[in-house]
Structure 1
């Protein structure tokens, strides 16, 4: 691998190094990055899409998803609301608006829907 230009910025050297990686090694590098770092859910999901792009996985029918949801509906999934929300936020990009409280806006996104329909009105 040739050396990068000594005049390059750190960002330039990083871009150069990534461009030098063969495509077939990108998924492995993304996996190692996820093992060592804790990126935001949006970044993590983008990298997982790259890693899992070639994997075969079974399709899960809507009926099966509904049946699982129905069973889970009768199970007390959490005792600590903040912990439950933190778990969900670590697994998915819930699209919360961190500025809603500051500017007096109504919260929006999936997290607001969870708060509304799971925590405040579970019988919706």
Structure 2
């Protein structure tokens, strides 16, 4: 992958083409880009057929797939069209769809752990200091 701007331009373009590009999806992409110091206004719109998936190395492809699955899961439900989109992108990247399923399961486990952690810390913050000692 030539650069990070190209990565986020591809992610944004894929989201616009395949997904609803809802405010949470747009916000996710903007937040992820901001971590790298990239403003949404610098992202280029790329036609899906113009994305050079060959330029991505294996890890970059997996990260892109992870981010696409995250976008699909943002509303709590992966629709049939989102599943088809992930299948299509996996195929374009020459990755087996089983890898996408593996990543989705890993993400769901990770998010479940985050939720459990939040509950633990929420319960701790509601305790009196005498209960913590």
Shorter-normalised TM range: under 0.3
**What's the TM-score, normalizing by structure 2?**
0.27
More relative contact order in 1 or in 2 (CA 8 Å, sep 6+)? Answer: 2
**What's the TM-score, normalizing by structure 1?**
0.28
